[in-house]
Amino acid sequence: MIALRSRKDKMPLPRPTQPATPDKDAFTIHKARVDGDLELAFIREGVGGYPLLLVHGYPETKRIWWRNIAPLVDAGYEVIVPDLRGYGDSDLSATDAYDLVLYSKDLYTLVHDVLGHDRCGAIAGDVGGAVICEMANRYTDFFDRMIFFNTAAPIDPERPEWYAERGITMMPLEDGPTGDYRIRQGRDSKELIAELDTPARCRRYVRDFYEHRLWAAQYTFGESDYDFMVEPFEDIRRLAASWAPYQLQYGRPMSEIPKMGPVETKTLILYGPEDQVVSKDFPKQCELGFRDRVGPLYVPESGHFLQWERADILNEVAAFFFADLK
């Protein structure tokens, strides 16, 4: 007789081996002034190689790229990994100014004006993906190529028939089974701040995104990984600052309208299909939103945090995609 294992007792299947996660203090953190007195924190490794800008999203900091930095440096790249304003080790805005255009201008100032690169490549997902699309449309000769994954795809508002013909919505995201966070952080942020009244509650709130909110593929984060990712958000001021993009549709003022139309820069589209927060139409939306694209390519056993969950794949793909630019 074969004994059947209950779902509760089911053991996790072995996952593909990932690059080792460097120690918390493995990389030197630099700071540079980018807007008035506001300074961005960033990592810069492999100086002299072709520059790659790696941009985190929410609820992330530069730490989400910890498994990617050394392999890309070893492949011959200069790897630049900033914290967006208000995140991680970067300064909070003294005037509570946060939006996609400000993020975009900050990063351009850092990479172009401070570090002296006229051109570079970029890799990003989530909010970072929106930021590099804004940068590509604002600074049209700055990015040679981009890698883009698991976020809101750029939309072409002048071609609604394209979306109708393919049976997809022009809205970049769907609520999905875990989309309530967008309403709470956007419309009801004051109430949410009142609830998250201790560092422990802030950490628990952020951990949920990595653990049970169905963003990541199962078993891709362990206990030490949770601690590593959530620590920068235990200060409610930083956690609340990271909600700014979700408040824009509820009346938060913008410095200016972001340039979020179709992207002309050659872009490799990756998709982690285990992500339950990004629209399942994401690949098809990207086919319409990027005029010069490679893919979309599906990355198995990965979700929203693709650069961490399948660092083995992203590192190799990135090394190849930008190789002739070195």
- Of the candidates 250, 305, 273, 247, which has an alpha carbon nearest to the alpha carbon of residue 129? 305
* 247 in any annotated domain: no
Domain that holds residue 111: 29-176+256-325
Using CA of residue 221, residue 186, residue 36, residue 113, what is the dihedral sign?
positive
pLDDT, residue 1, reads 42
Which residue type sits at 71? Answer: P
* 54 in any annotated domain: yes
The alpha carbons of the chain give a radius of gyration, in whole angstroms, of 19
Check which CATH number belongs to the domain holding 82 and give it.
Answer: 3.40.50.1820
pLDDT, residue 7, reads 42
pLDDT, residue 10, reads 55
pLDDT, residue 98, reads 97
pLDDT digits (tens, 9 = 90+) for 268-319: 999 999 999 888 889 999 999 999 999 999 999 999 999 999 999 999 999 9
Run means of pLDDT, 10 residues per run, the chain, 326 residues: 45 79 97 96 98 98 98 98 98 97 98 98 97 98 98 86 79 66 93 98 97 91 96 98 94 94 97 92 92 96 97 98 96
Question: Is the link from the previous residue into 262 a cis peptide, with omega within 30 of 0?
Answer: no
Which helix (H) or strand (E) segment is 199 a member of? helix 199-210
Question: Is the link from the previous residue into 12 a cis peptide, with omega within 30 of 0?
Answer: no
* 222 in any annotated domain: no
* 38 in any annotated domain: yes
pLDDT digits (tens, 9 = 90+) for 57-89: 999 999 999 999 999 999 999 999 999 999 999
* 304 in any annotated domain: yes
Write the burial class of residue 251 (CB in 10 Å: 0-12 exposed, 13-18 middle, 19+ buried): exposed
* 79 in any annotated domain: yes
Instruction: Say how many domains are in the chain.
Output: 1
pLDDT, residue 27, reads 98
Token pair of 257 as six digits: 């309208």
Which residue type sits at 35? Answer: D
- Cα 257 to chain centroid, rounded: 21
Extract long-range pairs of 200-208: CB within 8 Å, 24+ residues apart: 200/234, 202/230, 202/233, 202/234, 202/235, 202/236, 202/239, 203/230, 203/231, 203/233, 203/234, 205/233, 205/239, 206/59, 206/230, 206/233, 206/239
* 45 in any annotated domain: yes
* 244 in any annotated domain: no
